[in-house]
Chain A
Amino acid sequence: MGDHHHGPAKGLSRWLFATNHKDIGTMYLWFSFAMFLVGGAFAMIIRAELFQPGMQLIRPEFFNQMTTMHGLIMVFGAIMPAFVGLANWMIPMMIGAPDMALPRMNNWSFWILPPAFLLLLATMFMPGGGPAFGWTFYAPLSTTYAPPSVTFFIFGVHILGLSSIMGSINIVATVMNLRAPGMTYMKMPLFVWTWFITAYLLIAVMPVLAGAVTMMLMDIHFGTSFFSAAGGGDPVLFQHVFWFFGHPEVYIIILPAFGVVSQIIPAFARKPLFGYDSMVYATASIAFLSFIVWAHHMYTVGMPIAGELFFMYATMLIAVPTGVKVFNWITTMWRGAMTFETPMLFCIGFVVLFTIGGFTGLMLSIAPSDFQYHDSYFVVAHFHYVMVAGAVFSMTAAVYYWLPKWCGKMYNETMGKTHFWISFIGFNVTFFPQHFVGLAGMPRRIPDYALQFADFNMISSIGAFIYGASQLLFLYNVIATIVGGKPVSDEKVWEGAEGLEWTVPTPAPFHTFSTPPQVR
């Protein structure tokens, strides 16, 4: 097998015209890491300005651009493409497929991303500056009062949406059609399941986002008044439309992370995942609930009390399936035979910190208390616990876990563990104090703050610099592995690893499963 297959094309055309799922996955992963560093650099600027009270380094208008771009780049440029890259690499290998179902569309869905982000970043050099209205871009700050560059931002968001929708269609088509004989839905690895559900979420909500930005475009250039009360519209309509996209969006980010953790914990506990079926049902329940809770981001807009109560109860319910997942992971560890290599450390870090983020999420769901938490740093702390310690930690775990399979070389374990501990400490030093300042009354998205918040902000900034620096160690470790890591040829790499991806040779050849395997 393999001899009659062509290998990868040479030079630039290998990447430009790539249709191989592994090459496209690799490009997604590198692109998202580049975006992670750009978004991270913006975060460093934010934390440097907030190191002390007073305006030291930048102006408030630029600060607002930084918070906006940090959010947009991290959500749309770093986390989402990273998981799409992982899906590209792993889903065909996990279900025993030779490639993704729609390889040419796969190429396009990647290659429209870099221009979209170049466009987005270029807005910062346009007259009036880039988007400065937060990643949630509430109208009318993002319409009537926006800088002229907002039109480019809207175009950028449209392209991102296209890319995501195409990527999702591809995943759905692959999972439905290319599973190896014998691999029923209820035998699919959990990472495949979570992505399968995520893809449906994406297909459902990205058009809603496109609708929101299109309405903005109409308001700005074509004289409509969707979001302007002066013309009979309603600024709150924007928030409803945005969060109808935005809440499923946070599960789009976290569900693949759940999938990753559900693959890695059993491998290092050397024990099968506990409650596979309930994990699948919990994922589906979370996906369903994500569509009926959007207005919990809007408790203070002045909804009628009946609406407020509905969204509060529905939001609280999310704790049930999420709790089931956490309990399942812990029960998977229970009476296993655990070792703690870097991927496992990041997964345990994930479980602990994500659960803390879940607790604050539960607190935020309580509408009357939310009147005090809303738009404060408490919220900032909450969503970084679920986004960074949730999505980013699990993504990092995934890279350490599958990197030896991808490139056939072992990363430096000591450096990996060091990376984990510095990240873990840096992360908590950054974000734990933000709970305190938020509860004490510090609003989010402010470039300068009252003196009472000075100490915790300084601690938070120091933590952020530590966390930021630790990512460079990660980059170094990955490059060093690819360039000169110790070769591994063991198919399984990890003693406890299970699944079809571990049955192919290491490193994974350019084409895998040209003949489908038989799953028992």
Chain B
Amino acid sequence: MLRKARSVFWLAMFPVMLLLSGSLTPVWADEKADRRYQVNMEPGVTDIGAEIFSLHMLIFWICVVIGVVVFGVMFYSIYAHRKSRGVTPATFHESTKVEIAWTVVPFLILFGMAVPATSTLIEVYDTEDAEIDILVTGYQWKWKYEYLQEDGENVSFFSNLKTSQEEIYNQDDKGQFYLLDVDEPLVIPVDTKVRFLVTAYDVIHAMWIPELAVKKDAIPGFINETWTRAKETGIYRGQCAELCGKDHGFMPVVVNVVERDEYDAWLADKQAQAAEIAALMEQTFTMDELMARGQDVYDRACLACHGANGEGGVGKAIAGSAIAMGPLDGHFDIVINGSRNNAAMQAFGGQLNDVDLAAVLTFQRNGFGNNMGEMIQPIDVFNYKQGQ
């Protein structure tokens, strides 16, 4: 009831809000707790975003003024020139002067709009002199971020939706950042020009973070460039903007903007982690370790298509699967190289490290009642890849 009343209230407020939206230049906190009634674009935390915002408002107000004049004349006419008032209709039906006037005047207004639009566009396109390059790759349905380093190892990781299936299917309360939370955000330093090289692995995606004024299509086989320079630290949330299949609505882009020294520490830590994984590759795991890690990897990488209990969905069932319960080579092949017949089954050989691949293969062969009793170690995966 309260909700309904509130809806009615906001309904009545539309016109007011439209007018207010111009004067409200929202100053949001880092983590915007309540943006429920946000009705306008926001300038965000970049100079370019502020420029786009003022351009947006400029055009908006020009449209409002034109609208008030045009509709004003029309409604006056509707009021004054009604048959019920006993008026006799005029018979005029052309005037070249008037026609020329209302062709030329709009043209001049448009010219006035084009000037600031052009200069802003030139700035948007200026991807030169970036301090940090990050390769962003869209996958169905997650993002991969790779920090391109001039010296030392590149750091790369996938960023997956953190919102649980229970939240999405209403079996659990929805968290504050429902659908806008990831397991591992992109981290960039504040006050630094960061260039994103945007591409995709499978279909077209688009990277959009409104507050960083970044939107660029991620196109398989091509690399697009865009950039940002955040002026404030904080967490900024966006989403994939180009329809990319089933879970298009479930692949957010989350960017954590931090101080420069924090960024450096984070990067060093990620590089150390990469070294650690390399060390793990040489280790031998117990069944329990593999199963526990495998469950994590499964939930992250497989569950969306193959179901929480391996029952299948978009993908085939894992439980009782002829592949998961068949020869090892066939199982390795489909997981590492993907399916040749069905593009939706991706090649995970490049997405997961050997430890995770070993764990998830073990999990699939022993979980969901498959009970094959086999363990796969990272070295087995490594050998399979080498042998191809």
Q: How large is the interface on A (under 10, 10 to 19, 20 to 34, 35 or more residues)?
A: 35 or more
The CA-CA distance from A302 to B206 in the complex, in Å, is 11
Query: Would you call A319 and B36 a contact (CB within 8 A)?
Result: no
Given A140-B220, A336-B89, A337-B88, A433:B14 Cβ within 8 A: yes
Residues 47-62 of A, flagged 1 when their CB comes within 8 A of B and 0 if not, give 0000001111000110
Q: Which of B72-80, B293-301, B348-356 contacts A (4 or more CB under 8 A)?
A: B72-80
**In the complex, which residues of chain B have a beta carbon less than 8 angstroms from the beta carbon of A54?**
167-170, 174
CA distance A276 to B250 in the complex (A): 52
The 8 A CB mask of B97-115 against A (1 = contact, 0 = none) is 0110011001100100110
Select one of A64, A320, A339, A374 contacting B246, CB under 8 A.
Answer: A64
- Interface-located stretch among B210-218, B257-265, B329-337: B210-218
The minimal Cβ–Cβ distance linking B315 to chain A, given in whole angstroms, is 12
CA separation between A432 and B64, bound complex, in Å? Answer: 15
At the interface, yes or no: B10 with Cβ under 8 Å from chain A? yes
Chain A residues in 8 Å Cβ range of B244: 141
Report the separation of the CA atoms of residues A458 and B73 in the bound assembly, to the nearest whole angstrom. 34
User: With contacts A362-B63, A439-B40, A450-B180 known, is A369 near B52, CB below 8 A?
Assistant: yes
B103 contact set on A, CB distance < 8 A: 320, 324
Decide yes or no whether A12 CB sits under 8 A from chain B: no
Say yes or no: A455-B37 contact (C-beta < 8 A), given A133-B243, A317-B110.
yes
A416 touches B (CB below 8 Å)? no
B52 touches A312 (CB 8 A): no
- Cα A134 to Cα B206 in complex, Å, equals 15
What number of residue pairs across chains A and B have CB atoms under 8 A from each other?
302
Scan residues 337-377 of chain B and give those whose CB is less than 8 A from a CB of chain A.
343-344
B74 touches A351 (CB 8 A): yes
A20 at the interface (CB under 8 A from B): no
Chain A residue contacts of B238, Cβ below 8 A: 441
Contact yes or no, B241 A368, CB < 8 A: no
Q: Would you call B384 an interface residue if the criterion is a C-beta within 8 Å of the partner chain's C-beta atoms?
A: no
B155 within 8 A of A: no
B117–A368 touching, CB < 8 Å = yes
Contact among A53, A234, A277, A443 for B178, CB-based, below 8 A: A53
Chain B residue with the shortest CB-CB distance to A446: B249
B277, CB-defined interface residue at 8 Å: no
List B contacts of A334 (CB < 8 A). 73, 77, 81, 90
A376 contacts B17, C-beta separation under 8 Å: no
Instruction: Name the distance in Å between B230's Cβ and chain A's nearest Cβ.
Output: 16
Tell me the smallest distance from the CB of A276 to a CB of chain B, in Å: 7
Distance A444 CA – B220 CA, assembled complex (angstroms): 21
Determine whether the beta carbon of B222 is less than 8 Å from that of A234.
Answer: yes
Cβ-defined contact, A339 with B52, below 8 A: no
Which residues of chain B from 224 to 281 have a CB within 8 Å of any chain A CB?
224-225, 237-250
With contact pairs A337-B88, A367-B121, A439-B40 given, residues A455 and B7 touching in the complex (Cβ less than 8 Å): yes
In the complex the two chains form, is B106's CB within 8 Å of A319's CB?
yes
With beta carbons under 8 angstroms apart, the residue of A60, A228, A316, A455 that contacts B110 is A316
Q: Which of B78, B82, B110, B240 contacts A443 (CB 8 A)?
A: B240
Q: Across the interface, which residues of B come within 8 angstroms of A230, CB to CB? A: 220-221
Per-residue interface assignment for chain B, residues 54 to 74, with 1 indicating a CB less than 8 Å from any chain A CB and 0 otherwise:
011001100100110011011
Q: How far is the CA of A144 from the CA of B346 in the complex (A)?
A: 12
Task: List residues of chain A with CB within 8 A of the CB of B239.
Answer: 441, 443, 446
| Docked-complex contact A440 and B38, CB < 8 angstroms | yes
Closest to A61 in B: B246
* Complex contact B249–A300 (CB within 8 A): no
User: Are B121 and A309 closer than 8 Å at their CB atoms?
Assistant: yes
Judged by a CB distance under 8 angstroms, whether A274 is at the interface is yes
Inter-chain contacts of B59 with A (CB < 8 A)? 362-363, 366, 369
Among the listed B3, B42, B70, B343, which residue makes an inter-chain contact with A144, where contact means beta carbons less than 8 Å apart?
B343
B208 interface residue (CB < 8 Å to A): yes
B27: CB under 8 A from chain A? no
Flag whether A454 is at the interface (Cβ < 8 A). Answer: yes
User: A455 contacts which of B10, B40, B41, B237 (Cβ < 8 Å)?
Assistant: B10
For B10, B56, B248, the residue with the greatest tally of chain A CB atoms inside 10 Å of its CB is: B248
A132 CB–B CB distance under 8 Å: yes
CB distance from A330 to the nearest CB of B (A): 5
Residues of A within 8 A of B117 (CB): 312, 366-369
List, in ascending order, chain A residues with CB within 8 A of B243's CB: 64, 133-134, 138, 141, 444-445
Does the CB pair B99–A338 fall under 8 Å?
Answer: no
| Distance from A495 Cβ to chain B, minimum over Cβ atoms (Å) | 9
Report how far A64 CA is from B286 CA in the complex, Å.
43
Cα–Cα distance between A359 and B7 once the two chains are bound (Å): 26
8 new A-B contacts, CB < 8 A, other than A371-B214, A435-B39, are A138-B204, A145-B343, A236-B222, A271-B89, A340-B78, A371-B215, A433-B14, A455-B10
25 A-B Cβ contacts within 8 A? A54-B169, A54-B170, A54-B174, A55-B170, A64-B246, A140-B220, A141-B243, A272-B91, A274-B92, A275-B94, A300-B241, A313-B114, A339-B84, A355-B67, A359-B66, A359-B67, A362-B59, A366-B56, A372-B210, A374-B215, A428-B14, A452-B34, A455-B6, A458-B7, A459-B10
Q: Which B residues are within 8 Å of any A CB, using their own CB?
A: 3, 6-7, 10-11, 14, 17, 34-42, 51-52, 55-56, 59-60, 63, 66-67, 70-71, 73-74, 77-78, 81-84, 87-95, 98-99, 102-103, 106-107, 110, 113-114, 117-118, 120-122, 124-125, 140, 167-170, 174, 176-180, 202-204, 206, 208, 210, 213-217, 219-222, 224-225, 237-250, 314, 343-344
